[in-house]
Chain A
Amino acid sequence: MDRRILEFIGDLRRAEIRISPSEAVDALAASAEIGLGDRETFKTALATTLIKESRDLATFDRLFDLYFLDLQALGEGLKKALGPTDPRIQDLLERLMAEEGIELDPLTELILRGGGTEMEMAIRQGGQHVGLERLMYFLQIGYFSRRIQDRFEWDEIERDLARLMQLLEAQGLDPGQLARIRNYLDLRLEAFRRLIRQHVERELERRAYRQGEKLTREVLTDKPLFALTADEVAQMKSVVARLARRIKDALALRQRQEEKGRLDSRRTVRRSLQYGGIPMELKFRRRHREKPKLITVCDVSDSVRNASRFMLQLVWSLQECFSRVRSYVFVSEIAEVTQAFNTYPVDKAIEWALRSAPVDFHCRSDFGYAFSRFCRTELESLDRKTTILILGDARNNYNDPQPWAMKHMRERVKGIIWLNPEGQWGWGIGDSVMPLYAPHCDVVRECRTIGQLAQVVDNLVHHWWRRGR
């Protein structure tokens, strides 16, 4: 059994569920405690030791059902696949075999008697050394079905069947009856082949579960954001969630490593006054890094909407990395949408921010106006711990860019970072005013794909806020 559990764990890992060696060991121990008597209990024992994220439970369930086939349910399914049995013919054959005492190939017997479960076991046996681990694509199903079929002695079976027919003929059955029986046997052979194919299909699903998804994801990560279809945008959400998690994990690890601090002599001495100058309590300087404040300012006009969407998702999924996050969106009028993120799940809040925020989407982007409004209303709330993260293509539709506003903002904050979803070659061409804003920014980055976006945010979280400390 252990071998099967480990193989199943391989399936889970291929479906991108992270399972550590110690968890695999736990699963073996748990199943040993529980035994195999009850399928549901066994399943729980595996789930509780292997699956630590509720969101992975659905994948687990599906793969469990594919791998640890419910033989009883399968038997029912197979019966259907085999088609109806004809009790009269079945009787006749049984009697014949008993009377004549003939030696049949085991497979022939299986086909004659036709227990679904036994057939599945035989097929599984047959599939053991045909290289199923190379099965990855839909197109390979035919090939592997044939390879498994070749493992059975079809000549032998054919000879057995022919002999049976001869015996029946010798017993004096008429040609009509004989044809019916022959036809029945052929159908069973056919059904057996179909079972082999079904087995291979199931194997494919189990081995390649969510591989397709992974492939799409890899492609999407490098696709220009503006070119994403609505469908792809939806798929992308999980990509971004994954990125956020990776960034967080890495950060948590680093924090743990930095945990232990140095002796804080000042606080130790101060504390010792209480004990007549004896340093009873040692105080350590917790290398407590104060979390940064973050303000995001996103252009949400059509051209850059996708980029804004994903940046908002990424930033708000990382909100525990910051002491405070505030978000603004603009086309030309600018509005704060922080409240939505504090009230709704990130997903909903983004839709709300993109759709119903008090911003008129039909007018054309006016960065200058938006920044000047921002300056007027929010300047007071900016401070040296704040970083402003701006996302926009800086295509100002020939409006007044008012770069002075950026300058004022920059004087008040720790830094301004600009992410531009447009390729760098376009900056400054046509109505792009990027070169006017760039001097007031600490970092300006091209951010055309999710891959780039992730890199920028990752860099910010890991490096930008450590500078100058």
Chain B
Amino acid sequence: MFKSVEDVQERFREASYIANRRIATVVYLAERMGRPVLIEGPAGVGKTEMAKVLAEATGRRLIRLQCYEGLDEGKALYEWKYAKQLLYTQLLKERIGELIEDTHSLPEAVAKIAGQDDAFFSYRFLSPRPLLSAIQADDPVVLLVDEIDKAEPEFEAFLLEVLSDFQVSVPELGTIVAKHIPLVVLTSNNARELSDGLKRRCLHLFIDFPAPRDELEILRLKVPEISERLAQAVVTAVQRIRAMELRKPPSVSESLDWARSLVILNAETLDAALVESTLTMLVKYEKDMERVKGALDKVLADLG
């Protein structure tokens, strides 16, 4: 358990993640209250990373369920290996014959076979997928349900049930109850609205682009080779570009990529030519690119 909000911040930093006070507070509460966290925010601001780091910081195993269109219960929860089960039954026909050899009536034979239920309906034939893995786990885990907005609303409703009682019933085996309540993190890029039910169940965390101070910290942490001067310049320039209301403003992942390539180019400072030649790291759309190029003097103003 985290001792305090500050403790969250410290342990996240040790795992190379800069959590502002808001993020840390929500993480703290999630663990204390045993509630899933739903993280929303633009792409590349560290939503997925946060879940990974949470696992690292708490010493839990990470189990990840990546959502996509068409994801269903079978692929998320478990699959029953009917073919294997049937094969076993075929192979064991003789043994079954032996088993019921000395029975005298049909009900007696059935009873005898029923006594062997466990052999026919066992975990042997169950192939768990992420959700069941998380519930079955002997050790405490972090369950990351990544990009839930990509799955269909029907799946969301099913997930909500699982998250409400952390137990699933497998018709062949009965009900499986979680040994430890997993720490659950869901992420969404807001491709569609999520259901009210799911939102009610979760603590909500909106992660936006980081404050300049935090972004500087992230840069120092993730690109340690970068000089202080260049790091400052990168952060300021990125902030200004974000303010331009581009179709896709650069996110943390882009500013990290950019910083890394500037380091490889041995850059000391930013200048127009350098920015222009590395802009593809930062801005992805043609139109956006042109707008940034047109405003380079503003982006670079007063940057040493």
**Chain A, range 248-301, C-beta contacts under 8 Å to B:** 248-249, 252, 255-256, 259, 274-276, 278, 280-281
Whether, in the assembled complex, B265 has its beta carbon less than 8 Å from a beta carbon of chain A, the answer is: no
Interfacial chain A residues near B199, Cβ < 8 Å? 52-53
A48-B25 contact, Cβ under 8 Å, with A248-B193, A259-B157, A275-B82: yes
Interfacial chain A residues near B80, Cβ < 8 Å? 281
Could you tell me if B29 and A45 are in contact, using CB atoms closer than 8 angstroms?
yes
A48-B86 contact, Cβ under 8 Å, with A34-B29, A255-B153: no
Report how far A175 CA is from B29 CA in the complex, Å. Answer: 65
Whether, in the assembled complex, A40 has its beta carbon less than 8 Å from a beta carbon of chain B, the answer is: yes
Interfacial chain A residues near B22, Cβ < 8 Å? 40, 44
- Would you give the shortest CB distance from A349 to chain B, in whole angstroms? 13
**Chain B, range 127-177, C-beta contacts under 8 Å to A:** 153-154, 157
Report how far A20 CA is from B21 CA in the complex, Å. Answer: 26
Could you tell me if B196 and A249 are in contact, using CB atoms closer than 8 angstroms?
yes
Whether, in the assembled complex, B26 has its beta carbon less than 8 Å from a beta carbon of chain A, the answer is: yes
Whether, in the assembled complex, A360 has its beta carbon less than 8 Å from a beta carbon of chain B, the answer is: no
Could you tell me if B29 and A280 are in contact, using CB atoms closer than 8 angstroms?
no
Interfacial chain B residues near A49, Cβ < 8 Å? 29, 203-204
Could you tell me if A245 and B203 are in contact, using CB atoms closer than 8 angstroms?
no
**Chain B, range 23-50, C-beta contacts under 8 Å to A:** 25-26, 28-29, 32-33, 35, 38, 40
Segment of A5-13, A21-29, A208-216 engaged in the interface with chain B: A21-29
Report how far A20 CA is from B203 CA in the complex, Å. Answer: 13
Whether, in the assembled complex, A99 has its beta carbon less than 8 Å from a beta carbon of chain B, the answer is: no
- The 8 A CB mask of B225-260 against A (1 = contact, 0 = none) is 000000000000000000000000000000000000
Interfacial chain A residues near B103, Cβ < 8 Å? none
Interfacial chain B residues near A52, Cβ < 8 Å? 38, 196, 199-200, 202, 204
- The 8 A CB mask of B82-112 against A (1 = contact, 0 = none) is 1101100000000000000000000000000
Could you tell me if A275 and B33 are in contact, using CB atoms closer than 8 angstroms?
no
Could you tell me if B193 and A255 are in contact, using CB atoms closer than 8 angstroms?
no
Whether, in the assembled complex, A110 has its beta carbon less than 8 Å from a beta carbon of chain B, the answer is: no
- Would you give the shortest CB distance from A275 to chain B, in whole angstroms? 5
Could you tell me if B205 and A259 are in contact, using CB atoms closer than 8 angstroms?
no
Whether, in the assembled complex, B195 has its beta carbon less than 8 Å from a beta carbon of chain A, the answer is: yes
Interfacial chain B residues near A26, Cβ < 8 Å? 33, 35, 203
Whether, in the assembled complex, A93 has its beta carbon less than 8 Å from a beta carbon of chain B, the answer is: no
Report how far A20 CA is from B157 CA in the complex, Å. Answer: 18
Could you tell me if A280 and B153 are in contact, using CB atoms closer than 8 angstroms?
no
Interfacial chain A residues near B29, Cβ < 8 Å? 30, 33-34, 45, 48-49
Count of interface residues, chain A, beta-carbon cutoff 8 Å: 35
With both beta carbons as reference points, the residue of chain B lying nearest to A317 in the complex is identified as B193
Interfacial chain A residues near B5, Cβ < 8 Å? 34, 41
Whether, in the assembled complex, B206 has its beta carbon less than 8 Å from a beta carbon of chain A, the answer is: yes
Could you tell me if A48 and B204 are in contact, using CB atoms closer than 8 angstroms?
yes
Interfacial chain A residues near B203, Cβ < 8 Å? 26, 30, 48-49
**Chain A, range 306-340, C-beta contacts under 8 Å to B:** 320
Report how far A29 CA is from B35 CA in the complex, Å. Answer: 12
Report how far A200 CA is from B202 CA in the complex, Å. Answer: 36
Could you tell me if A280 and B86 are in contact, using CB atoms closer than 8 angstroms?
yes
Report how far A280 CA is from B83 CA in the complex, Å. Answer: 9
Whether, in the assembled complex, B293 has its beta carbon less than 8 Å from a beta carbon of chain A, the answer is: no
Could you tell me if B86 and A33 are in contact, using CB atoms closer than 8 angstroms?
no
With both beta carbons as reference points, the residue of chain B lying nearest to A251 in the complex is identified as B153
Could you tell me if B26 and A48 are in contact, using CB atoms closer than 8 angstroms?
yes
Give the A-B pair count, Cβ closer than 8 A. 74
Report how far A259 CA is from B195 CA in the complex, Å. Answer: 15
- Would you give the shortest CB distance from B209 to chain A, in whole angstroms? 13
**Chain B, range 189-236, C-beta contacts under 8 Å to A:** 192-193, 195-196, 199-200, 202-206
Interfacial chain A residues near B25, Cβ < 8 Å? 34, 41, 44-45, 48
- Would you give the shortest CB distance from B181 to chain A, in whole angstroms? 16
Could you tell me if A54 and B206 are in contact, using CB atoms closer than 8 angstroms?
yes
Whether, in the assembled complex, A438 has its beta carbon less than 8 Å from a beta carbon of chain B, the answer is: no
**Chain B, range 55-85, C-beta contacts under 8 Å to A:** 80, 82-83, 85
Interfacial chain B residues near A280, Cβ < 8 Å? 82, 85-86
Interfacial chain A residues near B83, Cβ < 8 Å? 274-275
- Selected from B28, B33, B206, the residue in CB contact (under 8 A) with A29 is B33
Report how far A278 CA is from B120 CA in the complex, Å. Answer: 15
Whether, in the assembled complex, A57 has its beta carbon less than 8 Å from a beta carbon of chain B, the answer is: yes
Could you tell me if B200 and A320 are in contact, using CB atoms closer than 8 angstroms?
no
Interfacial chain B residues near A259, Cβ < 8 Å? 154, 157
- Would you give the shortest CB distance from B75 to chain A, in whole angstroms? 15
- Would you give the shortest CB distance from A249 to chain B, in whole angstroms? 7
Interfacial chain A residues near B86, Cβ < 8 Å? 275-276, 278, 280
Could you tell me if A23 and B21 are in contact, using CB atoms closer than 8 angstroms?
no
Interfacial chain A residues near B35, Cβ < 8 Å? 26
- Would you give the shortest CB distance from B170 to chain A, in whole angstroms? 14
Report how far A51 CA is from B40 CA in the complex, Å. Answer: 12
Could you tell me if A23 and B26 are in contact, using CB atoms closer than 8 angstroms?
no
- Would you give the shortest CB distance from A160 to chain B, in whole angstroms? 47
- Would you give the shortest CB distance from A58 to chain B, in whole angstroms? 12
Report how far A101 CA is from B205 CA in the complex, Å. Answer: 57
Could you tell me if A252 and B195 are in contact, using CB atoms closer than 8 angstroms?
yes
**A-B contacts, 28 listed (Cβ < 8 Å):** A18-B196, A20-B200, A26-B35, A30-B203, A33-B29, A33-B33, A34-B5, A34-B25, A34-B29, A41-B25, A44-B25, A44-B26, A45-B25, A48-B25, A48-B26, A48-B29, A48-B203, A52-B204, A53-B199, A54-B206, A248-B193, A252-B153, A255-B154, A274-B83, A275-B82, A275-B86, A280-B86, A320-B192
**Told that A34-B5, A48-B29, A249-B196 touch, could you supply 14 new A-B pairs with CB distance under 8 A?**
A18-B196, A22-B200, A26-B33, A34-B25, A40-B22, A44-B25, A45-B25, A45-B29, A57-B206, A245-B193, A255-B153, A275-B82, A275-B86, A278-B86
B interface residues (Cβ-Cβ under 8 A, vs A): 5, 21-22, 25-26, 28-29, 32-33, 35, 38, 40, 80, 82-83, 85-86, 153-154, 157, 192-193, 195-196, 199-200, 202-206
A interface residues (Cβ-Cβ under 8 A, vs B): 18, 20, 22-23, 26, 29-30, 33-34, 40-41, 44-45, 47-49, 51-54, 57, 245, 248-249, 252, 255-256, 259, 274-276, 278, 280-281, 320
Q: Which 4 A-B pairs have the closest CB atoms?
A: A52-B199, A44-B25, A48-B203, A280-B82
